[in-house]
Amino acid sequence: MKGNAKYAVTGALAGAANGFFGAGGGLFLVPLLVYWCGLEERRAFATSVAVIFPLSALSAVLYWMQGGLAFAAAWPYLLGGVLGGWVAGCVFHRIDMVWLRRAFGLLLLYGGVRAVLLL
């Protein structure tokens, strides 16, 4: 598959995951950007954040239009998420990729176990 088509398919998978599950597009995006599209890992993590933001905004608008978005419940998480994103963005370049990869893997395992056990 040619370069642009790979990126489009990768984005479509991320968008579908984000739309179906409310998040998780980065779970597809980072590995696909690295192993399928050939992007360097650190760039793949950063690119994933840039791609997921508009996908999340689109999903939020669609959920809101269908009456499924609870703004009052979302505000505390949004404020904490902004703070966490800012801190992580500031220290991201200082963290060794081995540790980022391990943390990402643990997050995948944790999410997978929770999804299977429905906790």
- Whether 22 has a pLDDT exceeding 70, the answer reads no
Supply the pLDDT for residue 15.
79
User: Tens digit of pLDDT for each residue in 92-114?
Assistant: 889 998 998 898 889 888 888 88
The secondary element (H helix, E strand) that includes residue 44 is helix 41-65
User: Tens digit of pLDDT for each residue in 50-66?
Assistant: 888 887 788 888 888 99
CB 17 within 8 A of CB 24: yes
User: pLDDT band at residue 12, thresholds of 50, 70 and 90?
Assistant: confident
Average pLDDT (35-58) is 85
In whole angstroms, what is the distance from residue 14 CA to residue 117 CA? 24
Indicate the angle between helix axes 3-21 and 41-65, nearest 10 degrees.
50
Please list, in sequence order, all residues whose beta carbon lies within 8 angstroms of the beta carbon of residue 6, skipping any fewer than 6 positions away.
36, 37
In whole angstroms, what is the distance from residue 23 CA to residue 56 CA? 7
